[in-house]
Amino acid sequence: MAASYGFLEVQGLVCGVEAADAMLKAANVRLIRQITTNPGLITLVVEGDIGSCRAAVDAGRSVAERLEALVSEKVIGRPEPDLSVFLRPPGQRKKP
C-alpha cells in the first residue's frame, strides 16, 4: 500500500510530459500511471509519502498553470488499499 497518491490532470501531452518531469524532480515520488481519459486530457499519478506527493503536485501545477493547461489536482493520504484497483493497467486488474 502506498503512503499517499498525488493526481494531476492537464490538457495536452506536452504539458503532461513537462509536468511529470517537474513532479519527479521536485520530490521523492514515483510516477505509477499516466492515464489518457479523453483525447488531450492526461492524468498523472504519483505515489510516495504525503509531503512528497503534495510537493510534486504543487510543482506540476505550477508548470500546468504557466502553460494554461491545468484541469484538476488531488492528493490522497493513506488511501484505502482497494483503491489501487483503479490505478493498475486494465490487464492487471483483479477484483478485490
Q: Which residues are CB-contacts of 13 (< 8 A; sequence separation ≥ 6)?
A: 40, 42
CA distance 54 to 75: 6
Q: Locate 24 and state its grid cell.
A: 519527479
Kindly give the pairing relationship between strand 4-11 and strand 70-77.
Answer: antiparallel
3-class SS of residue 87:
coil
Contact assessment for residue 29 and residue 22, using Cβ atoms and an 8 Å cutoff? no
pTM given for the model:
0.87
pLDDT digits (tens, 9 = 90+) for 56-88: 999 999 999 999 999 999 999 989 888 878 887
Contact assessment for residue 85 and residue 96, using Cβ atoms and an 8 Å cutoff? yes
Q: Which domains does the chain have, with CATH numbers?
A: 4-92 (3.30.70.1710)
pLDDT digits (tens, 9 = 90+) for 20-70: 999 999 999 999 999 988 888 999 999 999 999 999 999 999 999 999 999
